[in-house]
Structure 1
């Protein structure tokens, strides 16, 4: 694979996703836009899909015929789509904050550390969170743990006053939260749990209740999803207690959100709905003054709507779940492939519960295509759930076509 093929492939894939197209959609567009002289020579749709994936993976150069089809299907000028890159497309590493913490560590070892270093570390941990918005766990896990390890060594190898030490412990707790989240998304659940506990210890030593709550809530969320929902309820309640009544509104809303999900997984509908109501009430107290910690930037009413829809799906109440999910998906950022794939999976499941297998198959086709491009254990698990829910509808032609096509994929 040449570097140029890889860069062009990344550009093709990013452009396709930006238009909300899965590979199967694009293959059909190739057929639609092809001039007659090319259309008669095109292979079957499944073969076109394999060719598209090969182009996006940079396995081989795109020939003149397919350059024309790519440009026409995506409505982008051919010379723009296939220009030779003076610079590489943004990579996983380039999503990370600039600079190298190893160099910072070498520069400060044995020295008195000031507040500027803590501010730099805080910026780096937020950069990791932003990278997680667009990169999946298996793509991000090595950089995340490299950053956490370097932050720990800076703390151990420098001198600092009490106030600076507490701030640094809070930053380490934030690094542990995002590294644990990334590890969980990569399917390394034991490593994630250990990392969350390290962060909890650091945040407690720093006296940072909202951060302790965030870390406990993250551990509760993983436990609820892959372990015992009852234990997840207990951990989520601990997270609410750790936040305290004077915690920022978004911190309390997130804690209640975790409680609601744990109760939904435990099939306790009344407690799940009560917790969702508490989450909304907490968030309504946010005056927009910007006093919340930076790691809560994503907690808003849209997120609570997603959780409400997921809870209704888990409780098998599709008439309530489907409208909420359709509304969320209608305004969701298509560049966030992992979350989009996950939300589509909930909609597909809700539609099967509503006895709408044909519509569910259409949604699942898009979800399964998106999840194939995402290096995430969460999407892998959801894909398995979706496929299992279609088993009862195997005799429906649209479902059979979807499952047959998916079973044939490498």
Structure 2
């Protein structure tokens, strides 16, 4: 009896806090293990990618997860519940995500800090996904915007260099080059080069003297587009905490330039990221903010269409099908009214018929209308210029294959996924990698039955993931 007592006292005590949050999420240990693996994959944490049900059971029983596991657990549960779950709340200790973004911080100081931290940010051992902060998604007030616009107008030069129209045009040319590279090759290509250019050459130009007030405003807007693009490339490569930092700086630069449409464009990207990370309520708030006031009224029809279709996606993810359908109609109407003579920014050059069909398909898929989603994905594949927009073309094919598999058309799905893998050659993107991870999960039961097409496709998928590992 004494031996039995000593043995029981040595057993780990149940982690009641973690068990309670898992119960609130209404997840089995197997479902949580899958979610943990997905977050770990995004973060580049190979050790946790294949975490199993037994790991979760041991953690609930009282064993202590090591390394980044507590933060990954907290992030997985946050996505499920749509609120911030900290490691302390689940009875563990580990790195804590930031709880707020400092919107009041000086824009150029924040940009310089990003430049100094760029090397550390790029270390693959750093857990990027778990650093994404849901609590930081609150949009600043109109009073903040007015203050930032005045701050921009009152900035004085900190160097003797004079920036003129030629300098501005050179920076715009670099922005166009990086934008096209992202569209073709994915966010994993050249993002560090863009971050270095933004935080050194462009930051220096922002601190210099400017030949006119218009040049200053246009320069800050262009810098905001570069910061947005750096954030978008990080988002596409599943570097979510890094993306959030750059998106925030992009909004600040847009505010100092008094450029509401650019701010709306960035807030739309933040909403897209929130949808993908499983935070629909915050996504809806961001999408609404992107369409608020002058962000929408001063935007070109093409840009308004983009804002509306992401709004539709957020509403669908939040379960509001009726509102999502109305937003889709507004997006279609806005894109239909766009003309070649419109004075529209270069940042929306990618958004056309194929992109609208892709986002519409995602909205319909999330609403459960798989037949209509399949039709829209196919329309997107048919109408996209794949040589120019290779990354998104690959993602669309991956999504189409997944919907076909859900409908039981596994032969069609295998054919579509095979095309997706063909297109992914030379693409470095976290979103393409995730479609391949999802592909392998969907193929698993068919591979177990010894179906040759599924087995061969799985081998190709495995080779792609090995070659695309960050």
1:190 aligns with 2:244: no
Retained in 1: the 8 A contact 2:182–2:189? no
Of 392, 411, 415, the residue aligned with 1:339 is 392
CA distance in 2, matches of 1:392, 1:272: 34
Q: Cα distance, 1:234 vs. partner?
A: 0.8
CA distance in 1, matches of 2:461, 2:238: 23
- Deviations 1:333-376 (CA, angstroms, capped at 9, x unpaired): 34343222101111111111221112112212332454464211
- Name the Cα RMSD after superposition: 2.3
Of 381, 386, 395, the residue aligned with 2:439 is 386
Aligned equivalent of 1:172: 223
Q: Cα distance, 1:406 vs. partner?
A: 4.5
Of 400, 404, 429, the residue aligned with 1:351 is 404
CA distance in 2, matches of 1:408, 1:383: 8
1:144 aligns with 2:194: yes
CA distance in 2, matches of 1:315, 1:396: 33
CA distance in 1, matches of 2:462, 2:246: 38
TM-score (norm 1): 0.68
Aligned equivalent of 1:123: 173
SS of the residue 2:297 aligns to = coil
CA distance in 2, matches of 1:391, 1:266: 29
1:153 aligns with 2:207: no
Q: Cα distance, 1:153 vs. partner?
A: 1.6
Q: 1:362 to 1:396 in 2, by over 3 A?
A: farther
Q: 1:274 to 1:128 in 2, by over 3 A?
A: same
- Deviations 1:4-48 (CA, angstroms, capped at 9, x unpaired): xxxxxxxxxxxxxxxxxxxxxxxxxxxxxxxxxxxxxxxxxxxxx
Aligned equivalent of 1:265: 317
Q: Which moved more, 1:389-398 or 1:172-181?
A: 389-398
Q: Which moved more, 1:129-138 or 1:187-196?
A: 129-138
Q: 1:272 to 1:384 in 2, by over 3 A?
A: farther
CA distance in 2, matches of 1:152, 1:160: 17
Q: Cα distance, 1:155 vs. partner?
A: 0.9
Q: 1:388 to 1:269 in 2, by over 3 A?
A: farther
TM-score (norm 2): 0.60
Q: 1:241 to 1:404 in 2, by over 3 A?
A: closer
SS of the residue 1:271 aligns to = helix
1:328 aligns with 2:380: yes
Retained in 2: the 8 A contact 1:329–1:340? yes
Retained in 2: the 8 A contact 1:180–1:191? yes
Q: Cα distance, 1:201 vs. partner?
A: 0.7
CA distance in 2, matches of 1:223, 1:372: 28
Of 409, 416, 437, the residue aligned with 1:363 is 416
SS of the residue 1:298 aligns to = coil
Of 345, 351, 358, the residue aligned with 1:299 is 351
- Unpaired runs of 5+ residues, structure 2, are 1-157
Of 263, 275, 278, the residue aligned with 2:330 is 278
Q: 1:146 to 1:404 in 2, by over 3 A?
A: closer
Of 239, 251, 257, the residue aligned with 1:206 is 257
Q: Cα distance, 1:145 vs. partner?
A: 0.7
- Unpaired runs of 5+ residues, structure 1, are 1-107
